[in-house]
Each structure stands twice: as structure tokens, then as C-alpha cells.
Structure 1
């Protein structure tokens, strides 16, 4: 099964729609609740990152019988130092985003903690692609 979503940068009212939909689908498929929780946390964090940092993004989700694969590609500023961005507490979020309660610098570390596999590729000034895999 494949699901696709579009994310608009700056639109925090839409953040979480993909993770909410995926949660419902995985419950219907009988996936373990602990596994669903990890997937939903990672996907929500990724959605918020796109909303907070990029102009727009696309999520492609592939659900197979033994795993879920998620690829999130955005158009935005990119990540100049991925290793630094993976550090808990490191954030490049704007003051406005922080005032809304986001941008604490836990997004990428939380994604890593809640996925079985995670890769990030980024081109500064163009885009970032995040790939996550969780096995059921």
C-alpha cells in the first residue's frame, strides 16, 4: 500500500495529518501498538521539521507486510551540518517557531530513536531527503 502527502511550509495547522492517517491504517492492519507509536512519533517529528524549516515537502509512504518505509523530500534551505543537526538541543528554528512551542532541537534525534533505519541527504539551499524504515 502506498500513501502520499503534501506539506506546506509554515502551515502548522496541517502538521500531523500524515502521521494521524498512518496511525489509523496501521491499526486497521493489526500492526503492534508499540511499533505504531514509534512510527507515528518519527513521522510527526518529520512533518513538523518540514513545516518549520522548508517551503514545501512531499511524503511517500510504502507499507509492506513486514515494514513501513517513509521518504520525505522537501524544498528548503537544506541542512549545512547533518551531524550537528542530529545533536539533541541543536536548533535553527526561527523565534516565531520557538514561540509556538516547536524548534527545541529534538526532532531529528527523536526520529532516529524511533526508527530502525534512518538516512538524511541534504543539498544546502535546495532540499533535504529523509528516509525512515520501521520493521513490524
Structure 2
């Protein structure tokens, strides 16, 4: 089963709707609550990264019997230093985003922690691609 969500950068009021939609769908498959929580955390963090940092993005979710495979492609400023961005606490979020309670620099580390596989690629000035897999 494949699902696609469009995410608008800067739309914090809609932030979390894609990850909530996936969670709601996955509940129908009787996935364990612990696994469901891991997936929800990873997808929420990925979605909010698009909202906080990019102009727009697409989250493509492929639910397979053995795993959940997700690709998040965004159009935005990209990530200059992926290794640095993966460090807990590092953030390029604006002050405005931080005042809303986001941009603590835990998004990418939380995605990695809650995924079985994660690949992050980025082209500065163009955008970022995040691929993650969670085994069922």
C-alpha cells in the first residue's frame, strides 16, 4: 500500500497531519504499539523538518508486509553539513521556529534512533532527501 502526503513549509498548523495519517492507517494492520510509536516519532520528526526548514515536500510511504519504507523529498535550502546536522542539539532553525518550540536539534537523531535504516542526502540550495525503513 502506497500513500503520498504533500507538506507545506512554514505551515505549522498542518504540521503532524501526514504522520498522524500514517499512524492511523498502520493501526488497522495490528502493528505492535511499540513499533507504531517508533514509526510515528520518525515520521513526525521528518515532517516537521520539512515544515520548519523547507518550502515544500512530499512524504511517500510504502507499507509492505515486512517493513515501512518512507521517502521524504523537499525543496528548500538543503543541508550544508549532514554530519553536523546529525549531531544532537545542532540546529539551523530560525529564532521564530525555536520560539514555537521546534528546532532543538533532535529531529534527525530521533529519526535515526527510531528507524532500522536511514539515508540522508542533500544538495545545498536545492533540497533534501530522507529515506528511512522500519522493519515490521
Aligned to 1:83: 83
Q: Superposition RMSD on alpha carbons, in Å?
A: 0.5
Q: CA deviation at 1:123?
A: 0.3
Normalization by structure 2: what TM-score? 0.99
Unaligned runs of 5+ in 1: none
Aligned to 1:20: 20
Q: How far apart, in 1, do the equivalents of 2:127 and 2:98 lie? A: 22
Secondary structure in structure 2 of the residue aligned to 1:77: coil
Unaligned runs of 5+ in 2: none
Q: CA deviation at 1:25?
A: 1.1
For residues 13-68 of structure 1, give each alpha carbon's deviation from its aligned partner in whole angstroms, at most 9, with x where no partner exists: 11111111111111101111111100000000001000000000001000011100
Superposition map of 1:32-43 within 5 A: 32-43=32-43
Q: How far apart, in 2, do the equivalents of 1:25 and 1:33 lie? A: 13
Aligned to 2:124: 124
Q: CA deviation at 1:82?
A: 0.2
Superposition map of 1:104-115 within 5 A: 104-115=104-115
Q: How far apart, in 2, do the equivalents of 1:67 and 1:48 lie? A: 22
Aligned to 1:74: 74
Q: How far apart, in 2, do the equivalents of 1:48 and 1:23 lie? A: 15
